[in-house]
Amino acid sequence: MVYLWLLYLVLLFVIALTCWLLTRYSFLEEPLGEKLRAFTFMPSPSIKLVTTFIGSIITSVSYIIVLLAVVTSVMLAGSATASNIMSTAIDLNVDLGSGVYLRITEPRTLIELSEAVNEEDVLFAALRILTPITFSTGDKTQLDFLVLALGGRYAENITGYVISSEEFALLDKSLRSYVKSLTLGRWEFKPLFVDLSRLTKIRLAENIPLVHSTGSIGFTVITVSNVSRLILLPFRVGLELVSKKQPNIDAVVILSEGYEPSEFLRYDCEVGVVNGTRLLLITALAVPTVESLGRAVVSTILAAAVMTSCLGGIMERTTKLSSALSIVGVTPSLSKLSAELAILMPIIAVGAVAGYIVDAFFGRAALLSSLLSLIMLTGLTALMLNVRMLRGGEQYIPAMSTTVTSLTVRKPAKIYSCIRDMVMKDEFFEVVEDEYLDVVGGGLARFRMLYRLSVGIGVEMQCYIARRGNELTITVTPVAWSLEEVSARELRSVIGIAMARVLGAVKLCTLK
Amino acid sequence: MYFEVISVALKLVSRSRTLRYSVVTSALLALFTFTILGIANWVTVFLLIILENLAFISSVYIDRQLLLSAIEGLILCGATRKAMYIFRLVYSKVNKLVLSTLFIVLLTIGFDPKLIMYWVISLAIAPLEAYVVERRV
C-alpha cells in the first residue's frame, strides 16, 4: 500500500511538472507575427515545406495535447484489452479419450516434449517417420521401411495391434519369406509378421490417416497402399530414432487430463483439447474480444473529441504560415498537403511508439486493439483536417494588374534591384530578360520570366514605380504568353504564381 | 462589475460549444469506465485520468475566438484585473464541474473500489489543472 501511495506521489509530481511547463512556456501560444523573409527553396522544396510546418506546429501547446491524447488513447485501448484464444472444432473418427492433443512436426520439439511429460501420462502416441529408414533384413540384404511407432495405453484399442516389448517389430505377413532378421545399428528386433492392411483404413479424423500418406488429390489424402513397406515399432524406439537421425516426422500425442493445453502453446506444435471424438484445436494467437474492440473505439472517440477542440489552435498556426508561404508563391494546395503531412506524421510516429510499449507490456492482442485505435485516430484526424482546411478557404491570388502603395524613402532603382534579386532566385520562373527605365518621378521595370515547369509558357511583368514624397506606388501588370495550346485557366494559374512572387518581393523590398 | 463578469462567464459556458463538449466527453469517459469495471488495472485508471485532464484542458480551445472576444469586450468595458481573475475562475470551474459531476454521477451506478483512488487523484490535481486552464484562458 505504501508503494502505491509513493507511486501516486510520483505521478502527482509528474503532472505538476507538466502543468508548470505548460504554464511557463505559454509564450509558445503567442502569434507567430509577420516573419516575412525571402523564401529560398532548398533542393527538395516539398521536404523543406513539411519540415517548416512541423517546426511551426510541434511547439504549439495544442499540438502537444493532441499527441498526448493519441498516446493515451492508444495505450488505453491496449491496456483495457481482454483476449480470446482462437480455436477450431474437429470431429474425430476414433475415440481418443479425453486429454491434451499435440501434433508435432519438428524432431526437436518432440524431443523437448518427451522430456517435459511423463511416459505414464501418454494415452496415445503415433509417430510417423516420413524419411524411409534402412534395416538389415538378412546377411547381405537391406530393406527401406516407413516407420510407424505406436505407444500409450489406448494404442491397442485404436489400432488393434500390440507391441508387447521393445525387442519386437511388426511387419506385414507378405515379408515372412524375405526377412530373416531385422537389425538397425545396435538394435536387433525380432520380426513378428501380421496382417498390416487394416492400418491403412484407420483414420484419426477426416483426412488424417494413421499411416504415412503419399500425397493428396483435391482434399482427399492418399495413404501408403503397399503395407509391406511399413514397420511398426514401439514409441520409445521411434523416439530414439528421431533423436539420433533427426528425420522428418509427423507425430500425434494424446496426454491425460492432468495437463493444461496452454502449457504447450510455447512449443512449435499444434495444441488441442480432445474429448472422445471431439477435438478443439487452439492456437497461440490471441485475439481481442468484441468488448475490447468496443473499448478501443470509445477511447478513440474520446481522443478524437480532445483533438477536435485542439485542432482550432493548430489551424491558427497553419493558416498564418500558409498565408506567409502563399505570398512567396507556394500554392494553397501544396501548403494544405504539407500541413496535413506535418500534422499526421508525428501522430503516426508517437502512436507507433505507444503501440510498441503496449506490445511489450500487454502482448499481441493488446497491440491489435492499439493499432485499431491508432488507425481510426489517424483517419479521423485526416478527415477533420480536410474539413477544417477546406473551410479555411484558399487565399486569393490576384491574376490581374495590382497596385501596392507604401511609405518608404528607398529609391525606385534600389527597389527594382531588390525585386530583381528576389525574382532571380525563384524556383518556378527563370528571368530571361529584365530592364529598368528611369522616368520622371519613378521608374519602369520589366521582367520577362519563363515558367520552368513547362516548355513554352512565360509571363512578362511590368512594374511601374511612382514616387510622391515618401509615398511609393508600384503597379504590377502581368501578361502571359504561351507557345503551347493551354487553357486560359492554366495561364491564369501561372500568372497567379508569378504575381505572388513579384508581389511578395515588392512587399519585402518596400519594408526595408 | 463582478456580477456582470460572472454572468458573462456563465453565458459563455452555457451558450458556446464548450458545455456540449464537456457533457459529451464526460459521458464518453463514463461509458469507457463502465466497460472496464471488471478488468480495470492501475495503468488503465492512470491513463483514464490523463485523458480526462486532457479533455478538460482542451475544452479551452473549443470556442477560443468567442472567449477571446468576450475577454476583449470585458477589458474594454473596464473590467479590473480582479474581475478578470473571477471571470477565468468561473469559466474554468463551471466547465470542470460539468465534466466531473456528470462523470462521477454516471459512475456511481457501476462502482469499482479501484476507482476510489481515481477520484482522490482527480480531486488532488484539480487545482493544478484549473490553474493551467485559467492561464490559457
Contact between A204 and A252 under an 8 Å Cβ cutoff? The reply is yes
Q: Nearest C-alpha of chain A: how many angstroms from B56?
A: 9
- φ, ψ of residue A137 to 5 degrees: the values are -110, 5
pLDDT of residue B124: 59
Does the pLDDT at position A31 exceed 50?
A: no
As a whole number of angstroms, the distance between CA A287 and CA A293 comes to: 10
A205 and A218 assigned to the same domain: yes
The residue out of A361, A392, A423 marking a domain boundary is A392
Which of A389, A312, A296, A286 lies closest to A351 in space, CA to CA?
A296
pLDDT per position as a tens digit, A129-162: 888 888 888 777 888 888 888 888 887 777 777 7
pLDDT at A32 > cutoff 70: no
Contact yes or no for A429/A459 (Cβ under 8 A)? yes
Label residue A27 by pLDDT band (50, 70, 90).
Answer: very low
Contact between A260 and A122 under an 8 Å Cβ cutoff? The reply is: no
The minimal CB distance from B31 to the residues A65, A73, A298 is found for A298
Residue B134: which pLDDT band, with cuts at 50, 70 and 90?
low
Residue A434, domain CATH: 3.30.530
Contact B131 A303 (CB under 8 A): no
Mean pLDDT, range A396-414, rounded to an integer = 76
- In the prediction, which pLDDT does B69 show? 78
Whether residues A453 and A408 fall in one domain:
yes
A413 and A489 belong to one structural domain = yes
pTM value > 0.90: no
Which SS3 state, helix, strand or coil, does residue B107 take? helix
Q: Is residue A430 part of a domain?
A: yes
Write the DSSP assignment of A305-325 as a string of letters. HHHHHHHHHHHHHHHHHHHHH
In a domain, A458, yes or no: yes
A203 and A118 inside one domain = yes
Are the Cβ atoms of A291 and B35 closer than 8 angstroms?
Answer: yes
Strand partners, A428: none
Same domain? For A232 and A379 the reply is: no
Collect all residues with Cβ–Cβ distance below 8 Å to B70 and sequence separation of at least 6: B8, B12
Whether residue B127 is predicted with pLDDT greater than 70 in this model: the reply is: no
SS3 A512: coil
- A225 alpha-carbon distance from chain centroid: 48
Mutate to test the interface with A, among B17, B19, B36 (most CBs of A within 10 A): B36
Q: Would the pLDDT of A168 be above 70?
A: yes
Shortest distance between the Cα of A80 and any Cα of chain B, in A, equals 6
A218-222, A230-234, B97-101: least confident range: B97-101
Q: Please judge whether B57 and A79 are an interchain contact, meaning their C-beta atoms are less than 8 angstroms apart.
A: no
pLDDT band at A486 (very low <50, low <70, confident <90, very high): low
Residue A34: strand, helix, or coil: coil
The neighbour count for residue B123, using CB atoms within 10 Å, is: 10
Which pLDDT does position A375 carry in this prediction? 93
**How far A298 CA sits from the closest chain B CA (Å)?**
6
User: Of B25, B46, B129, which has the smallest distance from its Cβ to A302's Cβ?
Assistant: B25
Quick one: pLDDT at residue A36?
Answer: 46
pLDDT band, very low/low/confident/very high, at A378 (cuts 50, 70, 90): very high
Beta pairing, strands A269-275 & A187-194: unpaired
Task: Inspect the interface and report whether the beta carbons of A305 and B59 lie closer than 8 Å.
Answer: no
Assigned domain for A8 exists: no
Whether A223 has a pLDDT exceeding 60, the answer reads yes
Residues A324 and A210 placed together within one structural domain of the fold: no
- Nearest CB among A79, A80, A306 relative to B58 is that of A306
Average pLDDT over residues A260-269: 80
Smallest CA–CA distance, residue B15 to chain A, in Å, is 16
pLDDT band at B128 (very low <50, low <70, confident <90, very high): low
Count of domains forming chain A:
3
In whole angstroms, what is the distance from residue A436 CA to residue A413 CA?
A: 8
**B contacts of A299 (beta carbons < 8 Å):** 32, 51
What would the pLDDT profile of A279-293 be if each residue is shown by its tens digit?
A: 888 876 777 888 888
Distance CA A292, CA A364 (A): 13
Residue A347 lies in a domain: yes
Cell (9 digits) for B99: 465534466
Q: Are residues A377 and A459 in the same domain?
A: no
CA–centroid distance for B24 within its chain: 12
Residues of A in contact with B56 (CB under 8 A): none
Grid coordinates representing B130 are 484549473
Report pLDDT for B79. Answer: 78
E strands present in A56-202: 83-91, 98-104, 122-136, 142-151, 168-172, 182-184, 187-194
Residue-wise pLDDT for A232-256, tens only, equals 888 888 888 888 888 888 888 888 8
Q: Is the dihedral of CA A177, A180, A185, A186 positive or negative?
A: positive
Residue B47's pLDDT is what? 82
Element (H, E) at A148: strand A142-151
Last residue of a domain, one of A256, A288, A320: A288
In a domain, A38, yes or no: no
Q: pLDDT band at A329, cuts 50/70/90?
A: low
Residue A218, number of CB atoms within 10 A of its CB: 5
**B91 membership: H or E segment, kind and range:** helix B81-107
C-alpha span between A149 and A512 (Å, rounded) = 95
Q: Give the number of other CB atoms < 10 A from CB of residue B59.
A: 29
Average pLDDT, chain A: 81
A176 in the same domain as A306: no
Written in H, E and C, the secondary structure of A395-427 is: CCCCCCCEEEEEECCCCHHHHHHHHHHHHHCCC
Do A242 and A161 share a structural domain? yes
Tell me which of A111-115, A117-121, A437-441, B39-43 is least confident. B39-43
Asked if the structure places residue A23 within a domain, the reply is no
Check whether A45 has a pLDDT greater than 70.
Answer: no
pLDDT at A402: 84
pLDDT at A349: 92
Instruction: Say whether pLDDT at B35 is over 80.
Output: no
Going by pLDDT thresholds of 50, 70 and 90, the confidence category of residue A7 is low
A1 falls within a domain: no
Check residue A395 and give its pLDDT. Answer: 45
pLDDT of residue B51: 82
User: Would you say residue A372 lies in a domain?
Assistant: yes
Which are the contacts of B121, defined by CB distance < 8 A and separation ≥ 6? A8, A11, A12, B49
Confidence at residue B112, expressed as pLDDT on a 0 to 100 scale: 56
Long-range CB contacts for residues A21-25, cutoff 8 Å, separation at least 24: A22/A61, A22/A64, A22/B57, A22/B132, A22/B135, A23/B131, A23/B132, A23/B135, A25/A61
Which residue, among A6, A28, A297, A302, would best test binding to B if mutated, counting the most B CBs under 10 Å from its CB?
Answer: A302
Tell me the nearest-neighbour CA distance from A322 into chain B, angstroms. 20
Range of the domain at A244: 88-288
Among A288, A306, A327, identify where a domain stops: A288
A387 C-beta neighbours (distance < 10 Å), count: 11
Work out the average pLDDT over A90-101. Answer: 83
> Is the pLDDT score of A34 beyond 70?
no
